[in-house]
Structure 1
Amino acid sequence: MMLIAVGLAGTLLAFFRVPAVSSGTVWAEDGRVFLQEYLEQGPGLLAPYDGYLHFLPRLIVAFVAAVFGLEAYAVALTAACSVVIGLIAALTYYCTSALTSNVTARLAWASIPVLVAPGALETMGNAANLHWYLLWLMPWVLLKHPDTFAQKLVLAAAALAGALSEIQSVLFLPLLLWRIKDKSLWWAKGGFIIGVVCQITTLLAFPRERDGMGQDWDILSVIYGYFLNSSAAVSFGSSTVISNHIQAFGPAPIILSAIPFAVVAILVMRLSVGVQRVAGITWLLASGIVWAAAVVVNPAPYFKYAEFDTLDKWSEFFLSRYSTAPSMFLLALIPLLIAATSASSGSDLQRTRDSFIKTPHFRAALAGVFLILQSIYFFPVDAASSSGPSWAEGVRAARISCSTDPTLSSVEILQEPAGWRSTIRCEDL
């Protein structure tokens, strides 16, 4: 029952975090790539795009387009992606039993993909960015010990679907060494390996083309950007707020927002043992590596934070899809500290020294801080597609154009971001 409750709550909360206008707008690859290729070529679940496989997004797009039709496509896709996030929250809750029996910590972890502050700015409600949530789920399914055959199948399927949809899953290859002799863990590990091999094979056969932005990355921009897009994103929740703080106070707000997370990370490394320590190290490294990979693979002017030396440049700062995964993995350390302080471990001297942070009051305070961080930015301030255009109106206008001009074979429908549009054949309308 708890899994059903978590999944249902996660679905509803995810759906209502997306602004109404955004839910009626088609985002990026969801139109011009996944939908357009589905209408012209069929599902193509393992078709490469930009060097990678996008299995689950293509599957969802094919299902939504076939069942709900083109006019309702945008809203139905938002709902379908919200259901997937709800399922990810439920799977997260299920897998958390590998780390602790503390219900507060487990629910906190399950809430992260649904409520993390930057998630609703661009990542949530579209299939194009669903892979970030699959990346979050991957270490969980690789660490969880299944008890039944059905659980083995679920974890294997989740690992396979995730790896076939997110090439950055290769980051978690070292987890294959965790309890390497435990045969039950190899169901998920097997699905993971198959997906990773398929991704690497695809990348080699269909290399990703650079965007041609003519930018190089630098280490200072990577470091500055990490704190701006993780601890600051979680603490301030809005591009505008971060930019205004920097313009008014310089780097002080960013530094102050990072200090509590640094303290939490130190305490986690000090107090956690076994699988908890493995998880903590994994999340901390993943948070930094995923961000660095975004900058290195996608060099662009807006990532050159070391060159942001004027108020005008800082006014152009924005949180994006690249902020979500680093924030989720960093935020996961807070529930881990709650779990670590729930257990009694170590020598008598060690327990005495750490007794002040192993009390229910300390855990309650941590849970309270976490709840504030997860709830205060529920409604996004700078949502990327909150101004439209309406996909349904575009489809209706396209149908009129096709019906009134017999020479037309296809028509373009506007979507977001600006400049993106889908070319839909009249016969598909």
Structure 2
Amino acid sequence: MDPLRRAAGLPLVAVVIAFATAALAWYRLGPVPRNTVWAEDGGVFLRERIALGSVDTLLHPYAGYVHLLPRMVVDLGYALPTARYAQVVSLSSCLVVGAVCALVFVLSRDVVRPWPFRLVLAVVPVVLPLAPYEISGNAANLHWYLLVLVPWVFAHRSRTWWGAAALAVVAGLAVLTEPQAILFTPLLLLAWPRRRAASAGARHARLLPLPVTVVALAAAVVQVVTTLTHPRDLTPGAPAFRDVLAGFLLRPVAGAWDPHLGEVVATVVEHGWAPVLVPAGALVLVLAAGVVVGPPRSRWMVVALAVASGAVWWAALLANDGAGQPWADPTSAMAAIPPQRYAAASGLLLVSAAVVAAAALVDADRWSRVAQRTGGTGRLVGALVAWCVVAAVVTAAVLHVAPADTRRSDGPVWAEQLPAAAEACRADPTVEVVRVRSNPWSSPVACAWLFR
């Protein structure tokens, strides 16, 4: 297909991907989780929205950093009828994830050229088996999805100033929502062309990465200052490295194809580590092969995504678990530990790295000179391995596409509680705020909001 025609059709494809993936994320939640308010969406974010207003709450620190996009979603939910709050937050969050998928598809086209691999890469955020359990469909966990988008935003080479400006807005939203996006700042260098400009127009084009770079670094400064001035309360202690590594295998790695992590732990306790180490070893080989044979931009992207996957897991253990669980010596009782949200986040990055590596293996025209010496045999093996990766991702998605058990499966359904809340407001005119149960906390609901 002609490149101009292909570029012209890209926006339409992106829109289709955005709405299709948003619909899939919505479907995978199930009816009760869609209508249940989760954690900060009904706690901190909603309470501070009511107390501080729509503007002052946007950059208000919480847990050591700024949460811009989740607060915007909560603000939208608060602007609409109270009975629709849970649905609006869930739907808005799914639409944001759909937009993330579409942007990954568009922004990765210079690195992941084969379109089937780019499509699989784009849908990873909504097909990961672990996603619906906690991080999907709520504003409190949108920052994990933005973390998957950030490397593509930073490394992309814009063609126009309008595109650069739009990308700068996305970069600002992402970094002002997730401080760990700072891990990917070295990828900003990939957006700057190396060759010296030969004309004034070329020199002008060389400055296109400037808006994203400036906005990303400025937002990173905001997050760092926020962390220093409003430090997060950390759980004392630190996990041993062997437990970090073993937990990484049992949670993010295993969760890439099986959401029933308790069964994975039980299998390791009963049969040893082979059921986990064998697929993990195959994954390492795919990542290493992608780094060896791929062009420079693919190599850096694979390395960045894989390293960030491990860093997110380790940082989350340090911030939340203290000494943590003895994952290196699992017991049967540990099978009851539910999946953690950061296991899903780490898994998103890890699966993305595998798909990028697989795309590098199948795109033999851009192999390194050393890899091209393997000839037809090398290309055949590379293509076979690459398509096996795609088959694994697609199979895991198909097997777990239906709504399953989540942390919100037992409710409480938000709208069902509002008649009683309204009655409490009517019974005592002096009452201004009533409590409505969310999961796992409760939410402040102003009587004026109920009767608006």
Q: Same fold (TM over 0.5)?
A: yes
Q: Which residue of 2 aligns with 1:132?
A: 144
Aligned residues of 1:334 and 1:370 also touching (Cα < 8 A): no
Structure 1 residue 323 corresponds to structure 2 residue 362: no
Aligned residues of 1:280 and 1:333 also touching (Cα < 8 A): yes
User: Distance between the aligned counterparts of 1:393 and 1:85, measured in 2?
Assistant: 27
Aligned residues of 1:9 and 1:86 also touching (Cα < 8 A): yes
- CA 1:220–1:265 in structure 2 vs 1: closer, same or farther (change >3 Å)? same
Aligned residues of 1:264 and 1:333 also touching (Cα < 8 A): no
Deviation at 1:155, TM superposition (A): 1.0
State how 1:404-423 maps to structure 2 within 5 Å. 404-417=427-440, 420-423=441-444
Structure 1 residue 167 corresponds to structure 2 residue 179: yes
Percent identity of equivalent pairs: 29
State how 1:112-123 maps to structure 2 within 5 Å. 112-123=124-135
**Which amino acid in structure 2 is aligned with residue 230 of structure 1?**
P
Q: Which runs of 5+ in 2 are unaligned?
A: 1-11, 194-205
Residue 229 of structure 2, aligned match among 191, 205, 208? 205
Superposed CA RMSD: 2.0
Deviation at 1:179, TM superposition (A): 5.0
State how 1:6-405 maps to structure 2 within 5 Å. 6-43=17-54, 44-66=57-79, 68-180=80-192, 182-210=206-234, 213-300=235-322, 303-306=324-327, 309-312=330-333, 314-340=334-360, 341-344=362-365, 345=367, 346=369, 349-352=373-376, 354-359=378-383, 363-379=386-402, 381-405=404-428
Aligned residues of 1:411 and 1:425 also touching (Cα < 8 A): yes
User: Distance between the aligned counterparts of 1:130 and 1:298, measured in 2?
Assistant: 18
User: Distance between the aligned counterparts of 1:369 and 1:65, measured in 2?
Assistant: 41
What is the total number of aligned residue pairs between the two structures? 421
Deviation at 1:300, TM superposition (A): 4.7
> After alignment, is 401-410 or 154-163 more displaced?
401-410
Deviations 1:205-260 (A, max 9, x none): 222223xx555422222111111222201122223332332343232322233122
Q: Which residue of 2 aligns with 1:425?
A: 446
Deviation at 1:380, TM superposition (A): 5.1
Deviation at 1:309, TM superposition (A): 4.5
Aligned residues of 2:129 and 2:400 also touching (Cα < 8 A): yes
Aligned residues of 1:243 and 1:317 also touching (Cα < 8 A): no
User: Distance between the aligned counterparts of 1:299 and 1:407, measured in 2?
Assistant: 43
User: Distance between the aligned counterparts of 2:261 and 2:359, measured in 1?
Assistant: 32
User: Distance between the aligned counterparts of 1:283 and 1:85, measured in 2?
Assistant: 18
User: Distance between the aligned counterparts of 1:131 and 1:309, measured in 2?
Assistant: 30
User: Distance between the aligned counterparts of 2:287 and 2:267, measured in 1?
Assistant: 25
> After alignment, is 269-278 or 363-372 more displaced?
363-372
SS of residue matched to 2:348: helix
**Which amino acid in structure 2 is aligned with residue 424 of structure 1?**
V
**Which amino acid in structure 1 is aligned with residue 344 of structure 2?**
T
User: Distance between the aligned counterparts of 1:219 and 1:412, measured in 2?
Assistant: 43
Deviation at 1:308, TM superposition (A): 5.4
- Which structure 1 residue ranges, 4+ long, deviate > 6 Å from structure 2? none
> After alignment, is 121-130 or 251-260 more displaced?
251-260
SS of residue matched to 2:350: helix
Q: Which runs of 5+ in 1 are unaligned?
A: none
Deviation at 1:401, TM superposition (A): 1.1
Deviation at 1:135, TM superposition (A): 0.7
- CA 1:425–1:100 in structure 2 vs 1: closer, same or farther (change >3 Å)? closer
Aligned residues of 2:43 and 2:444 also touching (Cα < 8 A): yes
SS of residue matched to 1:235: coil
- CA 1:396–1:118 in structure 2 vs 1: closer, same or farther (change >3 Å)? same
SS of residue matched to 1:236: coil
User: Distance between the aligned counterparts of 2:403 and 2:278, measured in 1?
Assistant: 23
User: Distance between the aligned counterparts of 2:307 and 2:238, measured in 1?
Assistant: 23
User: Distance between the aligned counterparts of 2:238 and 2:51, measured in 1?
Assistant: 37
User: Distance between the aligned counterparts of 2:262 and 2:398, measured in 1?
Assistant: 18
Aligned residues of 1:238 and 1:381 also touching (Cα < 8 A): no
Deviations 1:352-388 (A, max 9, x none): 55132244x5544433222112322223544111101
- CA 1:155–1:232 in structure 2 vs 1: closer, same or farther (change >3 Å)? same
